[in-house]
Structures are given as C-alpha cells and as structure tokens.
Amino acid sequence: MTILETKKLMKIYGSGDTEVKALNGVDFKVESGEFVSIVGTSGSGKSTLLHMLGGLDRPTTGQVMVEGKDIFELKDEALTIFRRRKIGFVFQNYNLIPTLNVYENIVLPLGLDGNLPDRKYLDSIIHMLGLSTKLWNLPNNLSGGQQQRVAIARALASKPSILLADEPTGNLDSKTSQDVLSLLKVTSEKFKQTVVMITHNEEIAQLANRVIRIEDGQIVGV
C-alpha cells in the first residue's frame, strides 16, 4: 500500500534573478512499512522536501498525498492537527521542550490531542529505547544520544503513519549515531513503521531499504 506520494512537487523561493528552485518537480512513492532514506548534499533541497512531507511548509505547486489524501488541502490549523496524528518528527537538534521531563515530552503529542497513551505500546517503546530509568529527568540532564532517543519515542508515541527524521544523527558522535540508527531500524521493523530519513551521509543512508538521491531539487536516482 502506498502511504506517501509526492506529485510534481515544486518549491520556488524568490523571483526573477534571485529565483531559486529548491524543489523542481519531485515525484516518488513510499510504501507502508518501508524505511526510505533521502540522501543529498547540503543545498540539494532534501530538507525542503522533508518539511513538505511533514506539512511544515507549503509547496509552490504539486501535491503531497498521505494515505491518499492531499495534505495541502488542509488549512494551517488542521494541518498541524494532521501532523500530530499522522507524522512523527525527529530533528537533528532533538527539539525537546526543556521544561517538561522525558515522559511528559514523549506523551506531549498525545496530550495535545486529548488522547490517553496506549500504555503497553508506550512501555514497549520506552523499554526498547532504553529510557525506562530516565523518564523523570529533564532534557538538559540527558546526553545527546539520550535526548535523540526521547525524540524518537515522542515521534512514535502517537503511532504516526510516517516517521520523518531530519539528520537524526547530525549532532551525535559515531558510536551514539550507530545506536540511534539501529534503534530506528529496529522500531521500523518491529512496529511496521514507515520511516523517511534525511541525511547527507551515504553510509547512514545505506541502512534503509531504499535510498532516494536528490540533487538540485530533483530526484537523480532510486
């Protein structure tokens, strides 16, 4: 089943002489349960693409279909709600809320929706990510790797359709990077979680089932 599909995705910044085509007609599909990585150099448009996929930014033209629905038909507020239900984000700089402890950070998207967490599922995530002993800590007291694991747990908590990871290991040393990536991989397999990961690192990209290459706003190889 195709869970994510882009159609002629274009994003143009500026106009005239200063016009930059960040995305220049991107078309690809992601099947349910797939672990896809999008790899490209700095400035290739991969971050813009990820933002589009997560509904953080709107394209100039083209569509992003999630579970068959064009997400940009939604208004801003609805798009935000869509995001917290269907998309889990993992950022390079973790983006945890400093005033909330680990547990609260993890269940925040659920809480915002007014939902109760699925305790069994949640426990299994927490256990798997090795956060059981850190639940009451504040993010500041955690190492980078631990913080990123919290971010992954948060992204998974609402059982999203797609987990979008933006350079998830960009701020981590290589040993920790390995840990985090294998956790991503394992969770993807265990929970049949669709993962789209952005990276500039060829080696990391290879962990995925499929690698999509992007250059100058266009897909150059799958």
Indicate the residue among 134 and 213 with the shorter CB distance to another protein. Answer: 134
> What is the number of other CB atoms lying within 10 angstroms of the CB of residue 175?
9
- Is 81 a binding residue for another protein by CB under 8 A? The answer is yes
Q: Which residues contact 203 (CB under 8 A, 6 or more apart)?
A: none
Interface pick for another protein out of 30, 110, 162, 195 (rule CB under 8 A): 110
CB-based burial of residue 212 (10 Å sphere; 0-12 exposed, 13-18 middle, 19+ buried)? Answer: buried
Tell me how far, at minimum, the Cβ of 205 lies from another protein, in Å.
Answer: 20
Tokens, residue 160: 């999203």
Under 8 Å between Cβ of 163 and 125: no
Tell me how far, at minimum, the Cβ of 167 lies from another protein, in Å.
Answer: 9
Indicate the residue among 117 and 130 with the shorter CB distance to another protein. Answer: 117
Under 8 Å between Cβ of 163 and 88: yes
Return the amino acid letter for 143.
S
- Is 89 a binding residue for another protein by CB under 8 A? The answer is yes
- Is 97 a binding residue for another protein by CB under 8 A? The answer is yes
Side-chain half-sphere of 1: how many Cα atoms within 13 Å?
10
Indicate the residue among 105 and 187 with the shorter CB distance to another protein. Answer: 105
Indicate the residue among 155 and 219 with the shorter CB distance to another protein. Answer: 155
Under 8 Å between Cβ of 11 and 73: no
Question: Distance (Å, rounded) from C-alpha 122 to C-alpha 26?
Answer: 35
- Is 108 a binding residue for another protein by CB under 8 A? The answer is yes
| Binding segment (CB under 8 A) for another protein, from list 1-9, 26-34, 101-109, 184-192 | 101-109
Binding site for another protein (CB under 8 A): 51, 54, 56-57, 76-77, 80-81, 83-85, 87-89, 91-93, 95-101, 103-104, 107-114, 116-117, 136-138, 140-141, 154-155, 158
